[in-house]
Structure 1
Amino acid sequence: MQNFLVEGRPPWYDSTGSTKEQLIIGIAGGSGSGKTTVSTAVIQNVGLEWVSKVELDSFYRGLTPEESANVANYNFDHPAAFDWDLLIETMHKLKAGKNVSIPIYDFKTHSRSKHNKYVYGADVIIVEGIFVLYDERLRDLLDIKLFVDTAQDICLARRLKRDIAERGRNVNSVLNQYERFVKPAFEDFISPTKQFADIIIPRGADNLVAINLVASHVRNQLKARGWDPVHHNVLESLPDNVHQIKQNSQVRSIETVLRDRTTKRDDFIFNTERLVRLVIEDALNYLVFNDKRVVTPVDSPYQGLMFQNKICGVSIMRAGDAMMKGFQAVLKDPIMGTVLIHSDRKSGPRLFFHRLPQDVSDYTVVLLDPTLGSGNTLIMAIRVLLDHGFREENIIFVCLIACKVGLSNVLCRHKIHIVTAMIDDDLDQNGLIVPGIGHFGDRYFGTEEVESEN
């Protein structure tokens, strides 16, 4: 099994269901000017939830043997030190909604690591680095161009602290490099690119007036593209592609057991598996069926139905594994796949592993995860499936409980079917659904008890 790229497209929708291109922001400035701090401040100020960041430093060329032997005289602060063709190709792919493989540069060995990191298209893409406004090809891809203008003595102090702590340098080598390369590069190549900036930010993230101005500009740009980051998480009514199973007495009694904080683990597992079967059986109603004529054992014709597509189940590990048994009990010998995504409220979702079948364009995929909270993990999982070749209209997400915030977060980007048993209104400060069922993975797998004993 392998991952491969398919034709990309913008990864989110506006409120009318039309696809929209993502917003690309470029942040330039001298070394140590505070570009990363500015990007973080803008993200927090606007309230952006789905951001991909690309750092120019990742695109340093690997040094030749001759350059490595004379590394003390190599100018890392010159435009020629970067692989511009690879950067431009990468940005075009992200703009098209594709995933990309970004090099990891080792500043201690001055070479690219054997491992790469994968980045997926997002609502907003931020590319930052000293020469972000230098190359015209990159400038043409940017919707908003920022330049962080910080006093050079402050930049030098920050560079000293960073290079000594993170890059294995000593004070003399940092100062020598600054005088020979960094300062001349700023004067000759970086500072002149201010002319291309839409907004110049003096003093970096300390300039709250400028940060608020940038945040307002970003909001306006997003609204012009049909997405309002302030109000998009309001779900007043369930759209046609969100399906809640019938809340009869049997279902309500199972849900009550799962919501009860005093429920023992074995009872929680038993009732989870009951509800999983019910939800998956209901989800199969949203597959595409074809007419099929058969003859019964009494030699009588019968006009029935059969699934049109092949079916694949994909678990979002680890909690999704709790639903695989129920899925396999409903469908005979289904093809299974897995994705492992870690998500937290500070860094967002990150893909660690995936195992998916090949040649999947004619498959319907049933994506399994017991809970839908903020929706960020599901959005990442959908992006992985799309890049692997699954068609969006063939994706059905099945969960036991969903939050309206997460539903809206997903549905403003992707047109998929979502089938659930419970729908709650909100998330608490820890990202758990309220009133909810608590932390599903801990309750199902028993890790809550282990942690309390340690």
Structure 2
Amino acid sequence: MLFVIGVAGPSAAGKSSVVERIVSAIGSHQCALLCLDSFYHGLPPGCDPLEYDFDSPNAFDFESCAAAIKELALGKSVSLQSYDYVTHQRCGPEITLPSGTEVLILEGILTFYHEKVRELLHLKVFVDEDADVCLCRRIQRDVVQRGRSVESVLAQYEKTVKPALDNFINPQKRLADIIIQRGVENVIAIDLLVKHIAVKLEQRGLNRLYTNLHEMPLTGQVRALHTCFRRCDASRDQFIFYVDRMIRLLVEEALNMLPFQTKRVTTPTGEVYQGFSFSNRIAAISVSPGGEAMEHGVREVIREVRIGKVAVVASADGNRMIEFHRYPPGVARRKLLILLPVLDTGATLNTVLTDLARIGCMQSNMIVLSLIASPEAIAAVCGNGWTNVRLVVSAVDRGVNEQGLVVPGIGWFAERYFGTERFELSEC
């Protein structure tokens, strides 16, 4: 799973030096570097380099940059020509980004500017430095490395670099996850950044990309339960038994994310024990038809839970809409467990979350519980503005097939659990 880090900031702010520190700390064998400069359109024929605005967004081919990142994310290698700063064309040595790369670092002055590139970044770092320091470094770099005169560097700075800094580059700060002041001199900030990346690399699958996704540890028990209820020849009784066990484990996992209150109790020995009690403002919302199957597991773990229901149907144009809902009293003030056994495309969950947000429920109060989820659903939810809604799943499967079923999956969950006609055992 490719983890993409974007590094933006003013010219000569120290972006490349910060990137070198990151690569040195986490290991070059895990990283691939891609410079946004490699996607310059190139100087138009007959155009004077001193008159051309190299700092404008129009100077970059962002579409090709996004395409290259997507190819790497698919596990393919990417080859492209580097940019020659003397001829101002893409005619430099060929750059090859190997397949199987774990971390890609994209560095440039406008890395966050274009939406198609920005949406592919999982971590956005802005490297900042005093404008006078940047100018001094730029003069030294362009004169020594790029064969420029001091006068031409200063003229370009006044005409295009400074306006671009104010209009395009610095406004990217509001899009950054981390801002590193003083560039490579900020050792503490770089060290914290490296540690964060190291933690991400230790995580498996989509947990690396989405901080609000929690996939249960794949213990022997979890793997065995999935094996039992995924079997196409499992009887209905067997299916219900093993699914119920897995649901209970899923609820227990979610409880660790809910707030506790301190509580003192007296034990039979007459001593006082200082412990915790569950919050008494917990509610569950079961999404019909499959969500009802999870209600029993929730009640077994949380006796005082209030349970509401919501039904989502597809309209004639294929969009999802709420057909029916009955939410518990004061739902907007409660911690919510949203019960949806299988996440296929994520459209149903998006509809439910939108309706709950409409009546005042906060994202931070919502936890979605699902046995199985597809990567498409996770991306549709976690990457669709629901970044504070926590998603707890026991497994992330490969994808969704033409019938809309998660694969390898468990088939039509509600039909198997409730014994309706769509699931026919003989077809296995």
TM-score, scaled to structure 2:
0.49
Of structures 1 and 2, the larger Rg is shown by: 2
Choose between structure 1 and 2 for higher RCO, CA contacts under 8 A separated by at least 6 residues. Answer: 1
